[in-house]
Structure 1
Amino acid sequence: MENKKTLILGATPNPTRYAYLAAERLTNRNHDIVPVGIKKGELFGQEIEQQLENKSLPIHTDIDTITLYVGVRNQPEWYNYILQTKPKRIIFNPGTENPELMKKARAEGIEVEVACTLVMLNTGQY
């Protein structure tokens, strides 16, 4: 199975959240993860990268997939970061579907999937 380096946008150290479960399952299936979000903490050996007032986030240029766990109303502040990362695809998990961001991503040649990362992993579609 190919390692698909995955940026988890909306990462959290809270084990009851879907973003945490996705990080756990991706790690268990030997996919490298880059957790990014507003919560401080660590996920499976990776520090959660946070946007700080005086410092912008590093742009990762080797990302296969961004899996979104940020609600639509909080996504616009992440548009530039997402598009500059230039992932091969973005997975819009349930509740994150955003036609505006999907259109911007497609215009940049980024594949868009409206799906659940957890289901994709469990069914071998990841």
Structure 2
Amino acid sequence: MKKVLVLGASPNVDRYSNMAMKKLEAKGFTVFSLGKRKGSVGTMKIETEQFPIENLYAISLYLNAANQVDYYSYIVQLKPEKVIFNPGAENRSLEAILDKHEIPFERACTLVLLNLDQL
């Protein structure tokens, strides 16, 4: 099972991060989530403190560039196989950091990737 971290997770059903968590789980991924507020999406808990995850496949970003700064070292430390910048999360500064650490990234929509079986 591939592990995915949804960064910027929300318990609000109208948020794309919430929809992505449900779709990731439905597609068989192991879903971890980190957000501003504790909560849950189905049986998946949303954490508010950074935590270690080994063998992480991907990070799906749902934070705008300004809100990503506090997570730069955390993202690098997790060493994901890739980072997905969802619409609105694009960030050239973080992309440069990922390049420096040889962590691949793409600007894409997690929901679309899942619908096309490209994640």
TM-score range, shorter chain: over 0.9
Out of 28, 31, 38, the position equivalent to 1:40 is: 38
Distance 1:45 1:68 in 2: 21
TM-score by length of 1: 0.90
Out of 65, 80, 85, the position equivalent to 1:72 is: 65
Distance 1:46 1:19 in 2: 12
TM-score by length of 2: 0.95
Which residues of structure 2 form unaligned runs of 5+? none
Q: Which runs of 4+ in 1 moved over 6 A?
A: none
Out of 4, 18, 21, the position equivalent to 1:20 is: 18
Out of 108, 113, 122, the position equivalent to 2:106 is: 113
Out of 83, 102, 108, the position equivalent to 2:95 is: 102
Distance 2:101 2:24 in 1: 26
Which residues of structure 1 form unaligned runs of 5+? 52-56
Give the deviation of 1:58 after TM superposition. 1.7
Out of 52, 55, 80, the position equivalent to 1:62 is: 55
Question: Secondary structure in 2 aligned to 1:25?
Answer: helix
Number of aligned residue pairs: give it: 119
Q: Percent identity?
A: 39
CA RMSD of aligned residues (A): 1.0
Distance 1:114 1:46 in 2: 25
